[in-house]
Amino acid sequence: MSKLITITSGKGGVGKTTTAINLGAALNAFGKDVVVLDANLTTPNIGLHLGAPLVPVSLNQVLSGKANVIDAIYEHESGTKIVPSSLSVKDLESINAKRLKEVGKRLKKIADYVIYDSAAGLGEEAIASIDSSDELIIVTNPEIPAVTDALKTSKVIEQMGKKIRGVIVTRVRNSKSEMSVDNIKEMLELPVLGIIPEDESAQEALAMRDALIHTHPKSQAAKAYKRIAAKIAGINYKEKSWLAELLGL
């Protein structure tokens, strides 16, 4: 049964888009048919991250009733499919974010997983993404402001009657100033699906216009995303030992 997962956050800059892309790419690597949709209509980044900043048909045209969502799907060389939003301010005119729910239903007919990269915060776009979802994953950093905003987001999601799958804590440096995972669990009262360490490879992957799990598959961040994706899909995933990697097994 196909599933629509919205990746959301209480604030921007926590690694939400990186998470959406890498979870989508990891699920695709596990043999799942995946579509990653840029539901951050005002400040979209999926196309920029994956080398498709300008496309003939964008999500904006779909939401304004001028195009079919099937025509707005583009396949990355890795096999992951994306639906980019337009970078043009003009293309924000006459779009209806509430149509994201209808679009999601259509995409679920052709994919195992549909991943929405939501706008940060709790504005109209974010609420529309939340309302479209079967379940949600909240992304946060191990900092008090980010976790506090994540808490606000979780309460709104619960009030909307939506299921929260869990939390992904990104950009973890193991600094003394950071909140511990136990404290984050206690504050949010939600399971932590995984921890993504701060990794320079993420910026390098962005410059290469590809997912981290493709450009730097041996990085700790890439391995963490693969573990989370396996957990989401119910796949028994075991990482190769250093000896197996050395021998190319």
Instruction: Specify the DSSP class assigned to residue 109.
Output: T
DSSP 147-205: HHHHHHHHHHHHHTTPEEEEEEEEEE---TTSPPHHHHHHHHTS-EEEEEE--THHHHH
The predicted pLDDT at position 78 comes to: 84
Q: What is the pTM of this model?
A: 0.93
Pairing mode, strands 135-140 and 163-172 = parallel
Q: Which CATH number does the domain housing residue 23 bear?
A: 3.40.50.300
pLDDT at site 54: 85
For residue range 20-66, list pLDDT tens digits in order.
Answer: 999 999 999 999 999 999 999 999 999 989 988 889 999 999 999 99
pLDDT in tens, 175-211: 888 999 999 999 999 999 999 999 999 999 999 999 9
**Whole domain around residue 64: which residue ranges?**
3-247
Residue 241 has what pLDDT? 54
Q: Which pLDDT value is given to residue 90?
A: 77
Nearest alpha-carbon partner for 46 in 10, 68, 72: 72
Q: What is the pLDDT of residue 88?
A: 81
Stretch 115-144: mean pLDDT, rounded? 96
Q: What is the mean pLDDT of residues 114-131?
A: 95
CB 120 within 8 A of CB 16: yes
The pLDDT of residue 79 is 86
Percent of the chain beyond pLDDT 90? 81
Q: How many domains does the chain have?
A: 1
Residue 132: pLDDT over 90: yes
Taking the C-alpha atoms of residue 8 and residue 16, their distance in angstroms, rounded to an integer, is 7
Whether 249 has a pLDDT exceeding 50, the answer reads: no
Q: How far apart are CA 126 and CA 122, in angstroms?
A: 5
